């Protein structure tokens, strides 16, 4: 079972719990998820199965969009609604123009300090384990990017907005920083991931729909429409169509000659004659095509030197 499931992760499940539940329903031998969502967050969680697990690293580097409800006037230990309130502050009378100006000030690149309640590891232990034990350790700030922040609703004690951001962004930290910029403190009251590049929001499937499909047979005969093909993760890359002999040689790790119409590129999608996705190749300035990563079973390694 090779493919990508764009799960609409429900509230209350960790990313790994969601992955394992879907993996069992698909009877998949192996699987992985691209980008962690906390149990209190919902929305798009790309799950990769079979050969598609090789695409997880690519998806982890993608831009993402979130819908955020930021509660104002109370800061928590975790930066979200799961933690205990550790500080309270008055909420000023906020005007829409003021909030929009604050949101706009975050657009662009900036340094962000990862929170203690995160899956980053120190000495082999996740930081959230240290945080729960009352420990705080130094963390290195990381460079993140915010492409767009759009105000949706302004309440007396909360703000709802959409944000498009780069990989590695901690939205709970963004929420805390926005609350401070508004003259108070805050925490994430709700968080939903709207999409992960390059996937469209309407491609998500619910856990209930997957369970219904799995219950239709032992195992169901037809491949479900929501099991996306592996190459969907690479649709922005150039395409190279091979004949049967070239496809065989590529899966054996041999070097091919690039067609004159294909420009040099560090990443190109390669396909067999029947349209089967073989994997990613590089096209060098010397007009050679070399395997970068194969996404087919039973392929050989690189051809031995002669």
pLDDT in tens, 259-304: 999 999 999 999 999 999 999 999 999 999 999 999 986 544 333 3
Give the pTM.
0.88
185 shares a domain with 81: yes
167 shares a domain with 106: yes
185 shares a domain with 147: yes
74 shares a domain with 55: no
Residues β-bridged to residue 31: 49
Segment 124-170, tens digit of pLDDT: 777 778 778 788 888 889 999 999 999 999 999 999 999 999 988 99
Give residue 217's pLDDT. 61
Give residue 304's pLDDT. 32
Domain tally for the chain? Answer: 3
Q: What is the token pair recorded at 27?
A: 């009877």
User: Exactly one of 38, 231, 243, 286 is catalytic; which is it?
Assistant: 38
Distances (CA, A) of 190 to 68, 83, 88, 160, 228: 6, 13, 19, 9, 28
Q: Which domain holds residue 286?
A: 237-294
- Assess whether the previous peptide bond of 280 is cis (omega < 30° from 0): no
177 shares a domain with 148: yes
Local confidence band at 38 (pLDDT 50, 70, 90 cut-offs)? confident
Does residue 303 fall inside a structural domain?
A: no
Give residue 221's pLDDT. 61
179 shares a domain with 96: yes
Segment 224-253, tens digit of pLDDT: 999 999 999 999 999 999 999 999 999 999
Question: What is the domain-level CATH number for residue 264?
Answer: 2.30.130.10
Does residue 305 fall inside a structural domain?
A: no
Question: What is the domain-level CATH number for residue 36?
Answer: 3.30.2350.10
SS3 state at 186: strand
111 shares a domain with 258: no
35 shares a domain with 183: no
pLDDT > 70 fraction of the chain, expressed in percent and rounded: 95
Contact 162, 106 (CB under 8 A): no
38 is catalytic: yes
């Amino acid at each position: 079972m090779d493919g990508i499931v764009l799960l609409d992760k429900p509230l209350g499940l960790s990313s790994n719990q969601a992955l394992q539940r879907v993996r069992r329903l698909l009877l998949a031998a192996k699987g992985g998820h691209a980008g962690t969502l906390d149990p209190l967050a919902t929305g798009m969680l790309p799950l990769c199965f079979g050969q598609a697990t090789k695409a997880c690293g690519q998806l982890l580097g993608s831009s993402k969009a979130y819908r955020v409800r930021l509660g104002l006037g109370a800061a928590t230990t975790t930066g979200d609604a799961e933690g205990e309130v550790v500080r309270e502050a008055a909420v000023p009378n906020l005007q829409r123009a003021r909030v929009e100006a604050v949101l706009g000030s975050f657009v662009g690149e900036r340094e962000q300090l990862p929170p203690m309640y995160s899956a980053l590891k120190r000495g082999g232990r996740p930081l959230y384990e240290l945080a729960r034990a009352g420990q705080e350790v130094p963390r290195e700030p990381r460079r993140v990017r915010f492409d767009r922040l759009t105000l949706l609703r302004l309440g007396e004690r909360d703000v709802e907005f959409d944000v498009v951001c780069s990989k590695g962004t901690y939205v709970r930290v963004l929420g805390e920083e926005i609350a401070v910029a508004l003259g108070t403190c805050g925490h994430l009251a709700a968080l939903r991931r709207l999409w992960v590049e390059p996937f469209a929001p309407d491609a998500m499937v619910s856990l209930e729909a997957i369970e219904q499909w799995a219950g239709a047979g032992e195992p169901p005969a037809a491949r479900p429409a929501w099991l996306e093909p592996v190459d969907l993760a690479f649709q922005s890359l150039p395409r190279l169509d091979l004949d049967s002999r070239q496809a065989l040689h590529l899966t054996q790790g041999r070097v091919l000659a690039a067609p004159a119409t294909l420009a040099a590129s560090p990443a190109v999608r390669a396909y067999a004659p029947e349209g089967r996705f073989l994997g990613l190749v590089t096209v060098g300035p010397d007009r050679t095509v070399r395997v970068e990563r194969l996404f087919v079973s039973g392929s050989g390694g690189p051809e031995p030197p002669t």
